[in-house]
Amino acid sequence: MTHQPMSRGLTALIPTAAAPATSSAGERAAAQLHHLRTVALPAPVVAAAVELLADRIRDPDPTTRQAAAAVLAHLTAALQTLDG
């Protein structure tokens, strides 16, 4: 009987057939974004996420870079609507 460990963190929230160890951060983010409709967060949380994601733009994995760029664009646009 094989025993697979339970997924934790972001991986537990993402419906994907790939094992967490074989999927990149970008693939997991893309899977999450595919199912995302609406979310409400305090502006400081969004600003912190922008800061943290900025480093992922230089990730060696192209899927991660693409997902990070897409998320950053959405988060930056959301922050700009608050300033305008």
1 in any annotated domain: no
53 in any annotated domain: yes
83 in any annotated domain: yes
Say which residue the tokens 């990149």 belong to.
24
Q: How far lies 23's CA from each of 1, 15, 37, in Å?
A: 24, 12, 23
78 in any annotated domain: yes
8 in any annotated domain: no
- Answer yes or no: pTM beyond 0.85: no
47 in any annotated domain: yes
The string of pLDDT tens digits covering residues 18-65 is 555 677 888 887 777 777 767 678 889 988 999 988 888 899 999 889
Count of domains for the chain:
1
Residue 9 sits at φ, ψ, to 5 deg, of 65, -145
11 in any annotated domain: no
CA 39/CA 7 separation, integer angstroms: 23
Domain that holds residue 69: 40-84
Of 10, 37, 55, which is closest to residue 72 (Cα–Cα)?
55
